[in-house]
Amino acid sequence: MTTREVEHEITVQADAVDVYRLLAEVENWPRLFPPSVYVDYLERDGNEERIRIWATANGEAKNWSSRRTLDPDALRIRFWQEVPAPPVAEMTGTWIIEPLGERETRVRLLHTYRAIDDNPEGLSWIDAAVDRNSRAELPGLKANLELSAHDAELSLSFEDSVRVEGAAQDLFDFVNEAQLWTERLPHVDKVELIEDTPGLQTLRMDTLTKDGSTHTTESVRVCFPHRKIAYKQTTLPALLALHTGYWTFEEGPDGVTTATSQHTVVLDAANIGKVLGPEAGVPEARRFIREALGNNSRATLNHAKEYAEARR
């Protein structure tokens, strides 16, 4: 039986306690780590947790459940997959947070794993996935920790909502059935939806801008009928370094549903001048993104509202 043990590490200009806290708060992982799409808690009991993770690996969307043991005193987090996704037979690991100074920390990420049936091709696939994800996760963690300390103005979160005299299920269906958006949404020029695993989608879309041009984005979406669709863009427009978000549908006892679109973005500071002109800065980019994404979200919400109310 071949068991592989690998280690990756990176040095972060941030306090070790802050690094540990951010790793412990898994709901923030999609903002921190490029492969992570969505993470949710299944169980929590003191320092013992079960979490479900949706992430990309070698360009494919995967999901799995993991258990974690938190050790805030030692600044360590041990994790292991309950039922690993093929070709993984077993996967365990540890985050080790080591203070190097007042504002400097070494982050070590250890993995131990083996492949189903000890298959060499499977092991090679895992080698590549672990190495690629680790190399993406650690710089992502470093950049986002340091961003929160020094460049918080590049991050922006906002939401738009509508109240609908209609069912949450109909609103969910409208957003979930993105393959129909070219027929239903005037700002969508082209769309491709892949859903090999129910509830786990890859959405590629060309969106029309005000000047008539188009920009292409690709997202991985995790769908929870009929209440929530969480997503993360894996192909981004030039102005963004990160874009995550979710749609929620909350139906009240009176049959009125509140539909909400939420966005969290990080601006790509190096591209602001290229996209918006040499005179533009972070304030202009924040306003531009808020308007552009908000307009599209409100348009989608209003068309979903019309759809749901027509089905009453």
Q: Tell me the CATH number at 18.
A: 3.30.530.20
Please determine, for residue 171, whether its predicted confidence score (pLDDT) is greater than 90. Answer: yes
Please determine, for residue 272, whether its predicted confidence score (pLDDT) is greater than 70. Answer: yes
Domain of residue 17 covers 4-150
Q: Are 38 and 222 in contact (CB under 8 A)?
A: yes
Q: What average pLDDT does this structure show over 257-266?
A: 96
Q: Are 109 and 133 within one domain?
A: yes
Q: What is the mean pLDDT of the chain?
A: 92
Q: Are 296 and 162 within one domain?
A: yes
Using the 8-state DSSP alphabet, how is residue 291 labeled?
A: H
Q: Are 54 and 222 in contact (CB under 8 A)?
A: yes
Per-residue pLDDT at 150? 67
- Report pLDDT digits (tens) over 283-303: 999 999 999 999 999 999 999
**Where does a domain end: 150, 180, 203?**
150
Number of structural domains found in the chain: 2
Q: Let me know the angle formed at the C-alpha of 155 by 212 and 129, rounded to the nearest 5 degrees.
A: 90
Q: What average pLDDT does this structure show over 232-255?
A: 94
Please determine, for residue 149, whether its predicted confidence score (pLDDT) is greater than 70. Answer: no
Q: Are 39 and 170 within one domain?
A: no
- Phi–psi pair at 35, nearest 5 degrees: -70, -25
Give the percent of the chain with pLDDT over 90: 76
Q: What average pLDDT does this structure show over 193-218?
A: 88
Q: What average pLDDT does this structure show over 93-108?
A: 94
CA 27 vs. chain centroid, Å, equals: 9
Per-residue pLDDT at 68? 98
- Distance of CA 156 to CAs 219, 245, 268, 288, Å? 19, 11, 12, 12
Per-residue pLDDT at 126? 95
- Report pLDDT digits (tens) over 62-85: 888 999 999 999 999 999 989 888
Per-residue pLDDT at 219? 95
Q: Are 225 and 130 within one domain?
A: no
Nearest-angstrom CA–CA distance, 297 and 175: 11
Per-residue pLDDT at 208? 85
Q: Are 122 and 115 in contact (CB under 8 A)?
A: yes
> Among 137-141, 184-188, 241-245, where is mean pLDDT lowest?
137-141
**Where does a domain end: 98, 119, 150?**
150
